[in-house]
Amino acid sequence: MPAAFVGRKNNSHQHPRSTLRLIRPRMIQVGVLMACLLFLVTGGQLHAQAIRITDLSEGQLKEVLPGAKSFREVPNQPFREGVDADGKAVGWVVLSTDVVSIKGYSGKPLVTLVGLDLDGIIRGAKIIHHSEPIILLGIPEEKLIDFVNFYIDKRADAQITVGTADADPLGVAAVSGATVTVLAENSTILDTARALGTAVGVLELQDTLPGAFVESEQDWSFATMKRKGVFGHLRVSEKQMGVSDSEDAFVDLLFTIADALQIGRPLLGEGTYKHLKGQLEPGEHLIVILGNGSGSFKGSGFVRGGVFDRVHLRQKLLTCIFADTDYTNLTALAVPDAPQFKEGAVFISRGAEIDPGRPFDLVFLGSFYDKKSAFSREFHSFSSTHRLPKSMYRLEGPDPDSLIWRSAWAGQKFKLVVLFVVLSCVLWLFVQRKWLTGSVKRLKLIQIVVLLVSFVVLGLWLSAQPSITQIFTLIGSIVGEWDGKLFLSEPVLFVSWIFIVIVVFLWGRGVFCGWICPFGSLSELLNHLGKWLKIPQFELPEKWHQGLRYLRYLIFAGLVPAFIYSPELGEKLAEIEPFKTTFFLIPWQRSWGFFGYWLILMVSSLFWFRPFCRYLCPLGAALALPSFLRIASPRRRKFCSSCTICADICEPKAIRPDGKIDAMECLNCMHCEANYYADEICPPLIGLKKLETGADDPERRKRLEHYKKRI
């Protein structure tokens, strides 16, 4: 801070009895955290509505299969067959969500309709619905449409890569700022088309992933199986079935593939396991289903016609129907610690080569009398996806499900090196903070350099601007289905968040907010520019500041339930962050509302210190909540409770009237710590320097020792 600020009368703490000042920061932390946790625990559910192909119009289907005049159902399949005016088949259409479960950056799939002709060529693709934040409120939708259109007239089994359009005729250019989105969409289109082509026979059947069951001579207990994720789980309530308003289970099913010795032997018993294992042909597996609930998963179809009509397995478009000849009843499990089950069965998966290395679904089809006619029944279909854990089935090569994030990391190696260097330098500065704060001039110069690097390198070049949306993604994974690959899909942001978590608990949020945050750096640099241009600076009256500084916590607390209710709504409301406008898009090409909001923040930063960061930023609020746990904080003296010099120069106003530093407000600028070591600024050091002048005098030495204890 300029020397002119030192010694200026402090008016920033003249309202100790303000009602808003009585709200303690720790209470705010606990209150916001408890509110969010309470909402999560007491029923916040991700708002989602599955789209079915039956929801689409015939016109939409024709868009992806232009040669079709009409469409007809294919028995027991979710896709539709397109026919020409003479009733001859011309191809098929299918929704991606009926085939694959690939998630985009939002954690939700890009629901895509794909059309395939008789030669295995993709004749059309169209995104029906998505929740991608950068597309919803940022990059024009036309860019994503152009990306999808690249796949038209390409073979379904073609190897199309993202990001090599100039060098490879089958490379498609990525959409800048939406890399993860297009990587996910690339896999969505190709995997959907290949699965459809395999199911209808125009493409060769895909080989199973190379892998093998992990065998162990030591039988696993039932508790060990549960802990290791051996079983998939499908629960359908009576209310979901429509038989009553009760949340009690109609069926509550556990299911798995029991080929491995340590799984099959304790579940089935050694004799039954050996007998059934000996009957398996290549590509066949032992499927164990265990059930409780008021209903039954077995049904009666197998008695009438040899087929179990209530449960079957599905893997992409491959369906495995169970017959009575492949069924063995399980009255009890052999493993000693197994709970009681109402019914159980082990099936041999004949007629469909289920790949144990890939996810598969257990589908339950339930029905009940709907009172519409004498024999009328209403059917409900429910499914649950399961994948065998690595401790049970190990792939011999790379996991295809990891290719999206692996591709992202492989393409950003140089950027990751640059990011690592920048973050390491900032860490070094904080480790060497005594040297850094030993000179006020040195501190100011280095801080300006770091702010410039953060804005230009991390923000403009690397687009490494963390956002509240990443915290939303974490919350969505906790409430919904955890997907670790989602967090690996943006390497630069992933590394940035590891850094943020570490420094928040070491030094508080100020390391990120005050030094690394690209937008915060831009705002502070603009403020420095305004002072250099001698623009008069503005500051809110103390009573207004004390109240408005809690606004960001209210914004954060409001965004969390909004996102849990509807990710799309949460993403839209999160546009209170101007980060997309600043670093991912061209500000003046956005709608006037976004551009106007951004422009107001930019102009106000010239005469107002970090207005967005101090009052509106939900990310800053989220990082401030755990900051009270920080291990290291700026050095303070006993004398600080009666001195206002550091409070005068603290632009975030993080120093309280008693001289203590509020960790939730502190940006770790270190100016107060530089004053701590400056014997020409800090009053105790000035007095100490005067006393040390005549330290040879015993009386003066005695006063000196007493003075050191006081400060």
Distance CA 598, CA 610 (A): 13
Segments making up each domain of the chain, as ranges = 3-41+411-634, 53-200, 214-395
Query: Which residue is associated with the tokens 């690097």?
Result: 453
pLDDT for the residue 601? 95
Distance CA 599, CA 618 (A): 19
3-state helix, strand, coil in the chain (%, to 5): 45, 15, 35
- State the sign of the Cα–Cα–Cα–Cα dihedral 26, 31, 32, 34: positive
Distance CA 402, CA 404 (A): 6
Q: Answer for the pair 130, 513: CB distance below 8 angstroms, yes or no.
A: no
Name, in order, each residue with C-beta under 8 angstroms of 396's C-beta and a sequence gap of 6 or more.
210, 211, 212
Backbone angles phi, psi at 705, to 5 degrees: -65, -40
Chain-centroid distance of CA 618 in Å reads: 16
Distance CA 576, CA 578 (A): 6
SS3 416: helix
Closest residue by Cα to residue 113 from 133, 134, 98, 91: 98
Written as one string, the DSSP assignment of 123-153 is: EEEEEEE---HHHHTTS-HHHHHHHHHTTTT
- Which tokens belong to 444? 């100011």
- Which tokens belong to 357? 């290395």
Q: How many CA atoms lie within 13 A of 106 on its CB side?
A: 26
pLDDT for the residue 710? 60
Q: Are strands 122-129 and 161-162 parallel, antiparallel or unpaired?
A: unpaired
Distance CA 697, CA 692 (A): 10
Distance CA 46, CA 568 (A): 10
| Alpha helices (H) in 201-287, listed in sequence order | 222-228, 238-241, 261-268, 270-279
pLDDT for the residue 167? 43
Q: Answer for the pair 400, 379: CB distance below 8 angstroms, yes or no.
A: no
Residue type, 104: G
Q: Answer for the pair 649, 612: CB distance below 8 angstroms, yes or no.
A: no
Distance CA 700, CA 706 (A): 10
CA dihedral 502, 505, 506, 509 (to 10 degrees): 90
Contacts from 594-602 at CB under 8 Å and sequence distance 24+?
601/523, 602/526
Q: How many CA atoms lie within 13 A of 506 on its CB side?
A: 11
SS3 321: strand
pLDDT for the residue 54? 83
Distance CA 584, CA 518 (A): 12
Q: How many CA atoms lie within 13 A of 308 on its CB side?
A: 27
Closest residue by Cα to residue 476 from 42, 108, 149, 18: 108
Name, in order, each residue with C-beta under 8 angstroms of 393's C-beta and a sequence gap of 6 or more.
211, 212, 213, 214, 257, 260, 356, 357
CA separation, residue 7 to residues 652, 656, 682 (Å): 18, 17, 10
pLDDT for the residue 207? 65
Is the overall model pTM greater than 0.75, yes or no? no
pLDDT for the residue 516? 94
Closest residue by Cα to residue 548 from 601, 626, 613: 613
Mean pLDDT by 10 residues, the chain (711 residues): 36 40 47 48 46 86 92 88 92 89 74 93 91 63 84 86 52 60 82 88 76 90 94 92 87 95 94 93 93 85 62 82 87 92 93 85 73 51 88 82 72 90 94 87 93 95 89 70 66 91 91 94 95 93 89 91 79 88 86 92 95 94 88 78 79 82 87 79 74 62 63 61
Written as one string, the DSSP assignment of 603-632 is: HHHHHSSSHHHHHT-HHHHHHHGGGGG-S-
Distance CA 61, CA 80 (A): 9
Query: Which residue is associated with the tokens 């007809």?
Result: 72
Backbone angles phi, psi at 291, to 5 degrees: -135, 145
CA separation, residue 549 to residues 23, 500, 656 (Å): 11, 22, 14
